[in-house]
Amino acid sequence: MAGIQIKNIVKKYGDGFPAVNDVSIDIADGEFVILVGPSGCGKSTLLRMIVGLEDITSGDMIIGDKRVNDLAPRDRNLAMVFQNYALYPHLTVYENIAFPLRLAGASDSEVDAKVKEASKTLELDEHLQRKPGNLSGGQRQRVAMGRAIVRDADAFLFDEPLSNLDAKLRGQMRSEIARLQKKLGITTVYVTHDQTEAMTLGDRVAVLKRGVLQQLASPRELYENPGNLFVAGFIGSPPMNFLPAEVEGTSVKLPFGTVEIPADKAEKAAGKGLLIAGIRPEAFEDASLVDEARAGGSTFSGKVEFVEWLGSETYAYLPFEAPPEVQKQLEQLEKDLDGDSLRTQLVISLDGASRVREGDQAEIWVDTSKMHLFDPATGENLT
């Protein structure tokens, strides 16, 4: 096994805009790192440069302690797990796992020992004589991983392995991959455009936008402390709300009224003019359900246009107007995110017990300690 160091890597196709622009990521031995971002952000290109399927324009790719820029893919000792698993349908599970060993000229006894060991780890030992066509999606995935394990690869690389599956199977396979990766402790790089996959699988997540690394952090850190508007909008579902915000002292004027924020936040936002406040849906609550003890928050009144009751929680939608400069910024953000959220409505998640109805002028409580304030010009999170 080995760590992977991506050092100031640049990739230009022809003389166009760099598909990967000066990205550095230090992946520790045994770590699970996710490359995530909307279509075209450069995540597949970066993965393909790690494997050696794409030339590197500049920078250093280091695996273990070896610079591999000029090494052919087969000499990098990495195992790529593809979307369709690339299993041989006419071979048994045993022979599919044995394939790389046979190719390398291993003896029958060596093949047997390694296949048996891998299949035990992967809980495939009862299926060794079956063909891939008779396996579940999860089992096929494990066979593909088995093939990587017997090779003693230094790292696993996944390129959107679950994107063709339905939601239920995707969920199952996701936990399967997470479990196996922990068990095997093998360095893993995984590409996805799905923020849920990124959040649930990775030790750390690298968020990319147009070839540039936006933030590299644990899922929790990304969620709680997004570095900029793009990361804040990309991570979380339903997405973070963005509202025009004018800060004066510890008061913040939002389209629905003025709320009080903690002094440390106010200090960081002082004198910056019109900002964009970012508040996740779950930072709100029906004020009638919030007891006095939940200090630190603030209450405002807003007209509820639409309500969705889901049992344990209720989503309420409150439209608002943003001044043109903020509106423009939010439209650009939505374009960058490749998304379709309507950014001029506040989406809030209330307890399922809430009696808020469509058309109500509702009293809403917000935990302002969870409010972020972004610089509209740079997108930077000031708080």
Give the whole-angstrom CA distance, residue 372 versus residue 226.
9
366, 279 contact by CB (below 8 A): yes
Please work out, in degrees rounded to the nearest 5, the angle formed at the alpha carbon of residue 340 by the alpha carbons of 335 and 344: 90
Nearer to ligand ATP, 40 or 138 (CB): 40
Task: Tell the smallest beta-carbon distance from residue 218 to ligand ATP (Å).
Answer: 22
Nearest to 77 by CA among 132, 142, 128, 153: 153
Nearer to ligand ATP, 42 or 278 (CB): 42
Q: Which one among 15, 39, 105, 168 touches ligand ATP, defined by CB under 6 A?
A: 39
| Separation of first and last alpha carbons in the chain | 39
Nearer to ligand ATP, 44 or 368 (CB): 44
Task: Tell the smallest beta-carbon distance from residue 207 to ligand ATP (Å).
Answer: 11
Nearer to ligand ATP, 233 or 297 (CB): 233
Q: Which one among 21, 43, 242, 283 touches ligand ATP, defined by CB under 6 A?
A: 43
Q: Which one among 5, 21, 45, 228 touches ligand ATP, defined by CB under 6 A?
A: 45
Please, which residues have CB within 8 angstroms of residue 205's CB and are 6 or more apart in sequence?
33, 34, 36, 198, 199, 216, 217, 218, 219, 222
235, 339 contact by CB (below 8 A): no
Nearer to ligand ATP, 338 or 358 (CB): 338
Where does this chain touch ligand ATP (CB under 6 A) — which range of 33-41, 55-63, 167-175, 283-291? 33-41
Task: Tell the smallest beta-carbon distance from residue 163 to ligand ATP (Å).
Answer: 9
Structure tokens at 320: 């608002």
Write out the binding residues for ligand ATP, residues 167-226 only, by CB under 6 A: 193
Give the whole-angstrom CA distance, residue 324 versus residue 105.
68
Where does this chain touch ligand ATP (CB under 6 A) — which range of 37-45, 195-203, 239-247, 302-310? 37-45
Task: Tell the smallest beta-carbon distance from residue 44 to ligand ATP (Å).
Answer: 3
Structure tokens at 32: 């699970």
Provide the pairing of β-strand 78-81 with 251-254.
Answer: unpaired
Write out the binding residues for ligand ATP, residues 73-92 only, by CB under 6 A: none
In the beta sheet, which residues pair with residue 23? 9
The count of residues interacting with ligand ATP (CB under 6 A) is 11
Nearer to ligand ATP, 42 or 161 (CB): 42
Give CA 293 to chain center in angstroms.
35
Nearest to 209 by CA among 184, 189, 227: 227
Nearest to 50 by CA among 31, 29, 30, 27: 27
Nearer to ligand ATP, 15 or 126 (CB): 15
In the beta sheet, which residues pair with residue 105? none
Where does this chain touch ligand ATP (CB under 6 A) — which range of 32-40, 84-92, 105-113, 169-177? 32-40
Structure tokens at 136: 């579940």
Q: Which one among 4, 23, 41, 348 touches ligand ATP, defined by CB under 6 A?
A: 41
Give the whole-angstrom CA distance, residue 169 versus residue 262.
43
Where does this chain touch ligand ATP (CB under 6 A) — which range of 35-43, 60-68, 110-118, 178-186? 35-43
Q: Which one among 3, 30, 40, 73 touches ligand ATP, defined by CB under 6 A?
A: 40
Write out the binding residues for ligand ATP, residues 289-328 only, by CB under 6 A: none
Give the strand order in the sheet containing 66-67: 20-27, 4-11, 58-63, 66-67
Binding residues for ligand ATP, rule: CB under 6 A, are 13, 19, 37, 39-45, 193
